[in-house]
Each structure stands twice: as structure tokens, then as C-alpha cells.
Amino acid sequence: MAQDVNANDNVVSTARKGAVAVLTLQSGPVNALGTALRQGILAAVEAAEADAAVKAIVLIGGGRMFSAGADITEFGKPQSGISLPDLLNRIEASTKPVVAAIHGNALGGGLETALACHYRVAVPSAKVGLPEVKLGILPGAGGTQRLPRVVGPRKALDVIVGGSPIGAKAAAAMGLIDELAPEDSLRAHAVAFAERVVAEGRPLLKIRDRDDKIAEGRENPGLFAAFREENARKTRGFEAPEACIACIEAACRLPFDEGLAFERAEFQKLVSGTQSAAQRYVFFAERQAAKIPDVPDDTPARPIARVGVIGAGTMGGGISMNFLNAGIPVTIVETKRDALDRGIKTIRTNYENTAKKGRLKPEDVETRMGLLTDTLELEKLAECDLIIEAVFEDMGIKKEIFSKLDTIAKPGAILASNTSYLDIDAIAAMTGRPADVIGMHFFSPANVMRLLEVVRGEKTAKDVIATAMQIGRKVGKIPVLVGVCHGFVGNRMLAQRQREANRLILEGVTPWDVDRVVYEFGLPMGPFTMSDLAGLDIGWSRETNKSESVRDLLCEQDRRGQKTSAGFYDYDAKRKATPSKVTEEIIAKVAERQGVKRRDATDQEILERTLYPMINEGAKILEEGKAIRASDIDIVWINGYGWPVYRGGPMFWADTIGLPKVLERLRAYEAEYGEDFKPSALLERLAAEGKGFKDL
Ligand code: T1G
């Protein structure tokens, strides 16, 4: 009969099952290993060790998981109590076998704790991993030294530098988990496992003593250089990945305790750096984005059993895939059969390509396609609970569609537009149900990019907002609530960058230099590469455009971007870009015609003139209440445009520069270029008060 023997500040409760002490972690939603929990575990382990009647110990998570690792909120603050590495060394040194019993997540310090135990059992649905690299740090409690000793350095590199969780079955196959337990009897199974260890007199397996697996790293030191090369593009600009690799290398050449010291030093460097501060900020900012002051978390969402998508083009197809992936049936509508067939074919091809890469089972392709109904009749959307319009970016067409939807859609259906810029209130006014109208702006490719801008109209109902935010998360997006204005948050700020980039090339800076500076800053591509990828002819027409701008002239020469093998750049058959003399001549001609004063610009000026106006626009967005918080703007830019997460987003980055400095530069450019650089009142106020956007 289990009974509570003692509880340490109720973060760890100890119960006895015969000769086994079961220590249950119960601290907050994720058993984060903060000071109180570390102290609680230490006291409970020492008490169990001192109890002669106890022959073995089981460590198990209360609530929904084993542990999400160290308490991220403690970083950057003075540490108190026993450190996690010291606690884990203490557990490993236990004179009695300690068995970790894992369900839910064992991540970061949570998995490191399990690795310090002598044995590990888990339920099949459990996930383990070392995601510290995603916070700009590394497993700082022995993970870089113990994991390679269990799975070998090559696999450890994937786990630690990749940072993704591993299912318990795969972890068991790697030797990380000793035994899988039935889903509904983890605790009993772990106790029985511990009893067997005692009864069979099994050794106290300390991972620190295992050298067999790390021999791979000594015999083949080239594996590290090869890994660095394979991952160079993905880890470009990040500091943590290299530190992780160095620690795993150290595990293969240093005695365990020296390896621990090496890991500790590397951890301290990272955790005190700006990249980790930025990435930890983003971790919490992503969760903050879900919180809407006037829409309580428990606002009931409308049930969404079927989704209608109007438009089977690139966006409509990608949007449909999001819901199909989540097992939600979709009815997709087009006006012409060939467009509809093309759209369906593209969806199938996308799935089949994913299956070819082994990331989707063939039967799942059919399951997903089986959930897709295609039709030429808008009326078929009458059965849908959420209808997303994803047609050409033309207000007239959208108004006409919403007017029709108002007569077709069932009462309570949510009517959403995927518009990238346009006025949701004007669209809503075409219906008798503006409270049911909202914007759901997906980013291309819609089935890949995680950002979803949810655009609340003046009259949008709160439960409609709650539904859009929840269904967005359900289909794997990061929804950010924004207000109605031209371009909402992301594209409104992008327009600032584009305007300055266009001005810079007329002054004589080449498009390739502008792109290089923005790319080297950490964005996935510069403005002109991005324009060529999207296509220069969006919204352009030979009839209406008057051949004034560089873009007009490029389109006139059929240089419409990658799709025509020429835009700002020339492209070869593999779409490799090379600077184009034709473009430079066009730019010179337009500059002369407009009488633009030619001048050079340093890389720093290029960076300031393309990115500082974005910060200024972000401040205006906050002033106008079109974003709830500065960190939402950062989440938009990280997940919608690839802003380097290690810089935290444009508003976080502005704070690291210091708003007085940003303001001073904006004023200098305002003196030369006028209104476009006029600082926002909010930015002036914060700078004057010595504050940052983080203080809002
Ligand atoms: N520390 C502090 N708070 C945390 C936390 C953590 N490790 N993990 C989650 N929270 C908060 C989160 O902010 C939210 O708060 C609530 O818990 C629920 O989280 C030494 C140095 C485990 C997959 O990176 O990935 O160990 O918003 O909404 O969706 O080597 O939480 O409710 O106020 O995310 O079910 C490494 C981080 C730490 C894992 C669960 N560990 N957490 O997802 O819930 S560093 C991680 C997650 C470390 C050692 C190193 C997820 C989850 P609020 P949630 P969820």
C-alpha cells in the first residue's frame, strides 16, 4: 500500500512500494527543474538513500510529463541551491539503483536527469530530447557528455544540434530507454523493473563509465568536420550549434569530468550571450502571442468539422493542405475545371514528394486526399463551418465573393479572407454577418510557413477570434492577432524595407550588395532575391503600368523573376542567380530619368536604411494598436519572413541597439530623405525615457 512518507515543499512526494521509494515530481505545468524542485529531489534522494528499508528508487513526473528541463526563467539570474549538474552527479553516485520513469516529455535537463539515473523506462507515447540549442544554449547538465556515451557521437550530434524530440520507441532502439512500459501502468512497471534490478543484483550502470560508443569519435574524428559541413547552411549565424559540436567532440577525447567542465564553460558563454537572450525571449514571446487581453483563454471556440477553401491556386492549395494534414475535411472551390484539377494535382504531388522523402506514408497521402472534396459550385460550401477565401488580391473580387457567401454559408459559419493587405472591415460590410468575418493571412508556402496573421475586424466576434487562433494552432501555425491596416503587420513593415532598397539601387548601390548585406545580417534572402522569387509581375500589367520604375521596365522585358529565368538577377537552369548587366543598365536609365543623385553607401548604412524604417513602422503599428505587443511583431517577422531567431525579431533587436541610437540614425536620414524616416512619437518617447520596446 503506497503512502506518502514525506513531501519536500510538495514539489517532490515520496511514496513506498515495498522496498522501492517512488519520488514524484510535481512542480508547475511542466516540472521545470527550478531551485525548489532541484532541492526537493536532492532531499528526497538523500532520504531514500538513508532509509535502510529502501532498496531502489523510482523518479517519475507528476502531471502530464516527466520534466521540460531547467527552468528557463531562472537563466540570467543568480542561481541558488544545488546546480542541476551537481544534482545529477549526486543521483548518479547513488548507492541504490535509480530508475527514471518517463511519460509525456523528458526534455533538456529532464532527459539529462534521466541519463543520470541508472536505468530508464518509458511509455511509447513519451518524447525525449535535448532542445537547448533552440534556446541558444546547450545541454549544460552533462547531456553532451552522457548522450554520446549511450548513442555514439554521430547520433548525439543529430539529437543535440537538431534539438528535435525523439519518440520513446526510437529512443529505446538507440539504447536511450531500457524498457517500454504499458501506457496505463508506467509507475507499477517502473517499480517492478526496480525490484528486478535489486533481485537480480544488476550493476549500477553509470553512463559516465561507458566508453564503448565514444570510440567512434576517436576512430573517426572526421565525422565532426563532415557534420559541420552538412549543417553549415542551416546553422549559419548561430553560435550554439558549434558549441554543441565542440562539447560532443570533447566527450570523445577528454575524461568525463574534464568533459563536464568543458561543457559547463561553453554553456556559461552561451547563456550569458545575446543570442541566447534573444532565443529565450522568442520562446516566451511565441506563447505570449496566444494571449489576447479582451478574449479570455477559455472563450469557447466554434466547432470546425469541415473547412471550405475558395481558390485552388498556390495559396488555396497550401491552405487546404494545412487542414488535411490535421485530419479536417476540406471542400475546395474553383471557377474553372482546369484550374481545379491543376490545384488538386499540385496538392497530391506535394504529398507524394513528401512521401518520397520518407516523411509521409503512402497510405497517409491517400487518407489526406480522401478528405478533400473539389467542386465548381460555391453553394457546396453551405456545409462548411469555416470558409477561407484565397483568390486573387483584388478587393472587387473579394467583395463579390463575400456577398455571395452571405447567402450560401450556414448560420454561425466563420468567413475568413486570406488577403495579405486589404481591409477586412470593407469585406465584412458586404455581408449581413460582420461579426463572423475575420482575416486569416497565411504565408507562402502556406503549408510550410508557420505564421498566421489573424486579422480582427471592427465587428469580429470574440469567439470567432478565439476559433481562428485555436484552429491556427491546431494546424501547426503560430497565430498572431493583428488589426486592420494596409499590409497588417508583416507586409506593412516589409514595404518600408522595399521602398528603401529601391531607393538605394537608384543611388547606385547594386541590388546584389543590398541583398548581401541583408543576407549576411541573417535573413534567408535579400529584398531583390525575394522579389525575383515571388515574381516581379504581381499586380503589374503591360496596359496599366507606365514603365516608370525599374520593376516595370524589367517586366516589360519579360524579366519577371525566377519563373522567367531573369528578373533582377539572371538564373541558370538550376535557378542559380548571377548579377545582371541588363538590370544595372535599366537602373542607371531610371536613375538618370528621375535625376537621382548617385552616391555610395556603406554596408552599415544599407542595413540601417533597410531595417530601421521597419522598426519605426513597428512602433507606429503599436501606437495605432494594430499589434497587441512588440513581441508579437517579432514573432511575425521570425515566422513569416525568416528574421534570424538569434536576433529576437526587429523590436528586440532595436532594444539591443538602444532606441536612442536608432532614433539618432532615423533623424539623420530624415534630414536627407524627409518624411519616410520621420521617427514615430512612441520611439521618440521611449528613447527619451531611456526605455525599450520591452518596457511597454
Ligand atoms: N522553463 C520554464 N517554463 C517553461 C518551460 C521551461 N523549461 N517549459 C515550458 N514552460 C512554461 C511555458 O512558458 C508555459 O507557460 C507553460 O510552461 C506550458 O508550456 C541545463 C539548460 C515541454 C513541449 O527547451 O518545449 O534544460 O504560458 O505552453 O505546449 O541542460 O513547454 O503557461 O505561462 O509550451 O504542452 C530545455 C521547453 C530547457 C523545453 C510542453 N527545455 N518547453 O509544451 O506547454 S533549458 C526546453 C517546451 C535546459 C539544461 C538546459 C514545451 C513542452 P505559460 P507550453 P506545451
pLDDT digit string (tens) for 253-305?
A: 999 999 999 999 999 999 999 999 999 999 999 999 999 999 999 999 999 99
For 284, other C-beta atoms within 10 Å of its C-beta total 12
CA-nearest residue for atom 29, ligand 1, is 287
Q: Which atom of ligand 1 is nearest to the CA of 105?
A: 22
Nine-digit cell string for 630 = 512588440
Residue 544 pLDDT exceeds 90: no
Residue 159 DSSP label: H
Distance 244 CA to ligand 1 centre (A): 20
Regarding whether 127 and 107 lie in a shared domain, the answer is yes
Q: Which residues of 467-485 are buried (b: 16+ CB within 10 A; e: fewer)?
A: bbbbbbebbebbbbbbbbb
* Overall average pLDDT of the 57-81 stretch: 95
Distance 182 CA to ligand 1 centre (A): 26
Can you say whether residue 561 is alpha, beta or left, with left for phi > 0 and alpha for psi between -120 and 50 degrees?
A: left
CA-nearest residue for atom 28, ligand 1, is 287
**Could you give the strand order of the β-sheet that contains 179-180, starting from the edge strand earlier in sequence?**
4-8, 12-17, 20-25, 56-61, 98-102, 119-122, 179-180
- Choose, from 132, 263, 500, 617, the residue flagged as catalytic: 132
Q: How many H helices and E strands in the chain? A: 28, 20
CATH number for the domain including 551? 1.10.1040.50
* Cβ pair 455, 469 in contact under 8 A: no
Cell 546553422, residue?
235
Q: Residue 602: CB partners within 8 Å, gap ≥ 6?
A: none
Does 682 contact ligand 1 (Cβ within 6 A)? no
Does 105 contact ligand 1 (Cβ within 6 A)? yes
For 552, other C-beta atoms within 10 Å of its C-beta total 18
Regarding whether 342 and 202 lie in a shared domain, the answer is no
Does 71 contact ligand 1 (Cβ within 6 A)? yes
Q: Which atom of ligand 1 is nearest to the CA of 84?
A: 20
pLDDT category at 9 given cuts 50, 70, 90 is low
- CA nearest neighbour of 116 among 34, 187, 38: 38
Distance CA 486, CA 408 (A): 28
Distance 302 CA to ligand 1 centre (A): 28
Residue 116 pLDDT exceeds 90: yes
Q: Which residues of 72-96 are buried (b: 16+ CB within 10 A; e: fewer)?
A: beebeeeeeebbbbebbbbbbebeb
CA-nearest residue for atom 14, ligand 1, is 287
Residue 394 DSSP label: -
Distance CA 270, CA 137 (A): 5
Distance CA 637, CA 523 (A): 10
Regarding whether 639 and 590 lie in a shared domain, the answer is no
Cell 526534455, residue?
107
- CA 35 to chain CA centroid, Å, is 28
Q: Kindly report which listed range (73-77, 379-383, 498-502) carries the lowest average pLDDT score.
A: 73-77
* Cβ pair 475, 491 in contact under 8 A: no
* Cβ pair 75, 141 in contact under 8 A: no
pLDDT category at 546 given cuts 50, 70, 90 is confident
Distance CA 76, CA 275 (A): 13
Residue 3 pLDDT exceeds 50: no
Examine residue 501 and state whether it is found in any structural domain, yes or no: no
Distance CA 70, CA 82 (A): 12
For 647, other C-beta atoms within 10 Å of its C-beta total 22
Distance 107 CA to ligand 1 centre (A): 9
Residue 598 DSSP label: P
**Could you give the strand order of the β-sheet that contains 414-417, starting from the edge strand earlier in sequence?**
372-375, 330-333, 307-310, 386-389, 414-417, 437-442, 451-456, 478-483
CA-nearest residue for atom 20, ligand 1, is 140
For residue 440, report the phi and psi dihedrals to the nearest 5 degrees: -130, 95
Letter for the amino acid at 19?
A
Distance 461 CA to ligand 1 centre (A): 31
Residue 692 pLDDT exceeds 90: yes
Residue 14 DSSP label: E
Q: What is the predicted pLDDT for the residue at 4?
A: 40
* Overall average pLDDT of the 374-385 stretch: 96
CA-nearest residue for atom 49, ligand 1, is 109
Distance 485 CA to ligand 1 centre (A): 34
Residue 406: strand, helix, or coil: helix
* Overall average pLDDT of the 391-410 stretch: 96
Examine residue 302 and state whether it is found in any structural domain, yes or no: no
The tally of domains found in the chain comes to 4
- Which of 253, 271, 289 is the endpoint of a domain? 271
| End-to-end Cα separation, the chain, in angstroms | 54
Does 88 contact ligand 1 (Cβ within 6 A)? no
What is the extent of the structural domain holding 380? Answer: 307-486
Q: What's the mean per-residue pLDDT of the chain? A: 95
Regarding whether 329 and 187 lie in a shared domain, the answer is no
CA-nearest residue for atom 33, ligand 1, is 287
CATH number for the domain including 235? 3.90.226.10
Residue 483: strand, helix, or coil: strand
For residue 214, report the phi and psi dihedrals to the nearest 5 degrees: -80, -5
- The preferred substitution site among 41, 64, 72, 79 for testing ligand 1, maximizing ligand atoms within 8 Å of CB, is 72
For 401-553, where are the E strands, in sequence order?
A: 414-417, 437-442, 451-456, 478-483
Q: Catalytic residue at 458?
A: no
Q: Which atom of ligand 1 is nearest to the CA of 271?
A: 21
Cell 515571388, residue?
534
Does 114 contact ligand 1 (Cβ within 6 A)? no
CA-nearest residue for atom 47, ligand 1, is 68
**Which residues pair with residue 482 across a beta bridge?**
455, 627
Regarding whether 462 and 425 lie in a shared domain, the answer is yes
Task: Encode pLDDT of 336-365 as tens digits.
Answer: 999 999 999 999 999 999 999 999 999 999
Q: Which atom of ligand 1 is nearest to the CA of 287?
A: 27
Examine residue 493 and state whether it is found in any structural domain, yes or no: no
Does 112 contact ligand 1 (Cβ within 6 A)? yes
Does 270 contact ligand 1 (Cβ within 6 A)? no
Regarding whether 673 and 632 lie in a shared domain, the answer is yes
Does 141 contact ligand 1 (Cβ within 6 A)? yes
Q: Residue 546: CB partners within 8 Å, gap ≥ 6?
A: 552
Q: Residue 472: CB partners within 8 Å, gap ≥ 6?
A: 440, 452, 454, 478, 479
User: What's the CA dihedral at 130, 132, 133, 136 to 10 degrees?
Assistant: 180
Regarding whether 542 and 413 lie in a shared domain, the answer is no
- CA nearest neighbour of 194 among 90, 97, 111: 97
Examine residue 301 and state whether it is found in any structural domain, yes or no: no
Distance CA 441, CA 432 (A): 22
Distance 426 CA to ligand 1 centre (A): 41
Nine-digit cell string for 481 = 492577432
Nine-digit cell string for 146 = 552522457
Q: What is the DSSP string of 339-378?
A: HHHHHHHHHHHHHHHHHHTTSS-HHHHHHHHHTEEEES-G
- Which of 452, 486, 520 is the endpoint of a domain? 486
Q: Which atom of ligand 1 is nearest to the CA of 69?
A: 26
Regarding whether 218 and 143 lie in a shared domain, the answer is yes
Provide the greatest CA pair distance for the chain: 92
Distance 238 CA to ligand 1 centre (A): 21
Does 128 contact ligand 1 (Cβ within 6 A)? no
Letter for the amino acid at 468?
A
CA within 13 Å, CB half, 31: 31
For the chain, percent of residues with pLDDT exceeding 70: 99
Q: Which atom of ligand 1 is nearest to the CA of 110?
A: 26
DSSP helix, strand, coil percent of the chain (3-state; round to 5): 50, 15, 35
Distance 108 CA to ligand 1 centre (A): 10
Residue 114 pLDDT exceeds 60: yes
* Overall average pLDDT of the 615-627 stretch: 98
Q: Which atom of ligand 1 is nearest to the CA of 64?
A: 35
- The preferred substitution site among 25, 30, 65 for testing ligand 1, maximizing ligand atoms within 8 Å of CB, is 30
Does 164 contact ligand 1 (Cβ within 6 A)? no
- Choose, from 112, 263, 286, 500, the residue flagged as catalytic: 112
> SS in 3 state form for 223-234?
HHHHHHHHCCCC
Counting Cβ atoms within 10 Å, is residue 486 exposed (0-12), middle (13-18) or buried (19+)?
A: exposed
Examine residue 139 and state whether it is found in any structural domain, yes or no: yes
Distance CA 316, CA 383 (A): 18
Examine residue 627 and state whether it is found in any structural domain, yes or no: yes
Distance 317 CA to ligand 1 centre (A): 33
Distance CA 436, CA 424 (A): 11
Q: Which atom of ligand 1 is nearest to the CA of 134?
A: 24
Does 472 contact ligand 1 (Cβ within 6 A)? no
Whether the predicted interface score ipTM is above 0.95 = yes
Regarding whether 222 and 82 lie in a shared domain, the answer is yes
Regarding predicted confidence, which is higher, 36 or 543? 36
Residue 5 pLDDT exceeds 50: no
Residue 15: strand, helix, or coil: strand
Regarding whether 651 and 611 lie in a shared domain, the answer is yes
Distance CA 258, CA 253 (A): 10
* Overall average pLDDT of the 536-559 stretch: 86
Q: What is the DSSP string of 189-224?
A: HHHHHHHHHHHTT-----GGG--TTTHHHHH-THHH
* Cβ pair 275, 240 in contact under 8 A: yes
Residue 160 pLDDT exceeds 50: yes
CA-nearest residue for atom 53, ligand 1, is 287
Examine residue 505 and state whether it is found in any structural domain, yes or no: no
Regarding whether 149 and 231 lie in a shared domain, the answer is yes
Distance CA 270, CA 135 (A): 10
What angle (nearest 5°) sits at the alpha carbon of residue 66, between those of residues 62 and 72? 110
Considering Cα of 623, then 629, then 632, then 633, what sign does the dihedral take? positive
Does 67 contact ligand 1 (Cβ within 6 A)? no
CATH number for the domain including 344? 3.40.50.720
pLDDT category at 542 given cuts 50, 70, 90 is confident
Q: Which atom of ligand 1 is nearest to the CA of 267?
A: 21
Regarding whether 121 and 57 lie in a shared domain, the answer is yes
- Which of 538, 559, 594 is the endpoint of a domain? 594
Examine residue 543 and state whether it is found in any structural domain, yes or no: yes
Does 318 contact ligand 1 (Cβ within 6 A)? no
Does 140 contact ligand 1 (Cβ within 6 A)? yes
CA-nearest residue for atom 54, ligand 1, is 287
